Amino acid sequence: MDGLVTNVSLIAGVGGGGGSRHAIVLTGLAGLAAGAFSMAAGEFVSVSSQNELVQAEVDKERHELATNAAAEQIELVGMLRRRGISAATARLAAAEISAHPDKALAVHTFEELGVNPAELPSPFVAAGASLVAFAVGAIIPLLPYAAGSDSLWLALVLAALAAVAGGGMVARLTGRPFWRGALRQLALGALAAGITYLIGVAVGGMAAS
């Protein structure tokens, strides 16, 4: 939805200012490219940074297991006890787990950080997903122009329909009513596009005078 709202707002602003079809398409394509790569870069940095933080904690845990194995085993017994396991069983399980360094590291990391160090998300996959998601949304208001239309309102109507469909589907996936998500997304998109359209009209009017 980010790409849809961003690009329909850009197109509405340029169209409101009296921009030509060429100017609107150029703005839309520039907005698509800039937004998609910006989102991808941001997601890549975010996931990479998160992975680095997790890896630093994993390395710290690995060092503690190597230098203070007895204390870590006692800590693991406590973790297992908090899960409702009996003291005797917890001690046996902790001893078995601690006998295998890789397994011990995985268990301690999961229990303390809530992550599996072998299953960290790929920053490349996250970046690619963000790029595609933004681009798909951003291209929707450009479709009428690609088909040869000069109608800004057709682009706005198509974007509104996409906002309703997208917002409604997200709502259904999260267990909320379709209409609630659809109306919320439509309202937010209309607000953003309406503001930029009025700015375009105002700036276009000043330029004309």
Please tell me the predicted confidence (pLDDT) of residue 112: 79
What lies within 8 Å, CB to CB, of 150 at 6+ separation is 21
10-residue mean pLDDT series, the chain (209 residues): 87 87 91 94 94 88 83 83 84 85 84 79 94 94 88 89 89 88 90 90 71
Alpha helix segments (H runs only) across the chain: 2-16, 21-67, 69-82, 87-98, 101-113, 123-139, 143-146, 152-173, 178-208
Residue 94 near residue 14, CB atoms below 8 Å: no
What's the CA gap between 104 and 85, in Å, rounded?
17
- Structural domain spans, the chain: 2-40+123-204, 48-119
What's the CA gap between 66 and 141, in Å, rounded?
58
Please tell me the predicted confidence (pLDDT) of residue 98: 84
Closest CA to 8 of 156, 205, 165: 156
Question: What proportion of the chain, given as a percentage, has pLDDT over 90?
Answer: 32
Please tell me the predicted confidence (pLDDT) of residue 171: 87
Please tell me the predicted confidence (pLDDT) of residue 208: 55
